[in-house]
Amino acid sequence: MDEHINDVIRQAFKDSPKKKLAINMRCPDVGATKTGISARLKISEDQIEIFNKDAVSFFRDDLKRRTFEGMFNTVDDSLPPNF
């Protein structure tokens, strides 16, 4: 992983701990992957959401407003209605 990018992500989470990191990647063990990412970025595993899917499925099924509203338990009227 690129340390400069990791530093930017760490700072973003330090500035706003309510943020969440959404990652789509194929991995054999989601729990272990979350633990590793959490340790590298020094953020809570609760702040990481891993979608263990191929890109087509993720874009078709999950890259939607309702998915992200569910992650944050909120309704965000700032997003376009068809997001």
Secondary structure (DSSP) of 21-83 = EEEE---S-HHHHHHHHHHHHT--GGGEEEE-S-HHHIIIIISSHHHHHHHHTS--TTS-TT-
Please give the pLDDT value at position 82.
62
The band of 80, judged by pLDDT with boundaries at 50, 70 and 90, is: low
- Averaged over 52-67, what is the pLDDT? 92
